[in-house]
Amino acid sequence: MDQTSEPFRQIDRDHMLGLEKGLAVIACFDAAHPRLTIADIARMTGLTRATARRCLITLARIGYAETDGRLFALTPRVLRLGYAYLSSTPLTTILQSALERLSEEIGESSSASILDGSEIVYVARAATRRIMSVGLSVGARLPAFCTSMGRVLLAALPDEEARRRVEAMPRAPRTGRTVTDADTIMRLLDGIRRDGHAIIDQELEIGLTSIAVPVFDIRGRTLAAINVGTQATRFPPDLLVRDLLPKLKAVQADLARIVG
């Protein structure tokens, strides 16, 4: 997947362009791209090869990357960056505790995520079993357009902003059921705003269904999304609504009182 960024530009004297470029380089690495060359980084970021090389060598020298002379990979030290966010945000601790109680009650895996551009990022998860071919954990990313939490978070945006994001994001189908048309997705978002929840029926992976609701603060602002993911054979959409939605709604109400 090409992750080419917008052109880098000096915004003002206080803007550290070098830091922006370094972070862009780190963001290139993911499960599909665990080891990259200088040329790969240059292509994915839009940086020159010389700049990409300097960024990678700097990251290697300070311990955030390692190299065999050709290929570069991140080191566990990068986890400090993600942990800094998680440890400084009380919401993630609250969400984790709530999800653990929910999963213990219903015997299904539950998760929480926030929106980051065109993707959702998992910030809490309580897994009772592995339901996807790809393992999910805190920090994992999935496309927003075809996930239940992603659609909940997109629906929380003003309509114009939601459309801008949907039209700009990659929308490659994950299964034969994946909805990729921007207008159709926008109509689905309208329904989510009306109903207060989103359901995905095997759009992300065959055999997987999920249902999600937003997490509100006391003023009604959406802070995150929570969901329950399960097997389609056990919980088709009608049973998700009948059996699991009330449990999610109860957690939603509890969280709204706790997070303030």
Structure tokens at 98: 């709530």
Count Cβ atoms within 10 A of the Cβ of residue 29 and give its class: 0-12 exposed, 13-18 middle, 19 or more buried. buried
pLDDT of 133 reads 58
Q: How far is CA 43 from CA 55, 69, 103, 143, 239, in A?
A: 14, 19, 42, 22, 46
pLDDT of 86 reads 63
**Residue 140 φ/ψ, nearest 5 degrees:** -65, 150
pLDDT of 8 reads 63
pLDDT of 78 reads 86
Percentage of the chain lying above the pLDDT 90 cut: 74
For domain 89-259, the CATH superfamily is: GAF domain (3.30.450.40)
Q: Which candidate, 206, 246, 203, 210, places its Cα nearest to that of 225?
A: 210
- Cα 77 to chain centroid distance, Å, stands at 21
The ranges of the chain annotated as CATH 3.30.450.40 are: 89-259
**What amino acid is encoded at 109 in this protein?**
S
pLDDT of 122 reads 92
The ranges of the chain annotated as CATH 1.10.10.10 are: 17-78
The rounded average pLDDT for each run of 10 residues, N- to C-terminus, in the chain (260 residues) is: 52 83 92 92 95 96 94 88 71 92 94 93 85 73 96 96 96 96 98 97 96 91 95 94 96 87
**Domain 17-78 annotated CATH 3.40.50.2300:** no
Report the predicted TM-score, pTM, of the whole model to 2 decimal places. Answer: 0.73
List, for residues 104-131, the tens digit of each pLDDT value.
Answer: 999 999 999 999 989 999 999 998 866 6
pLDDT of 134 reads 61
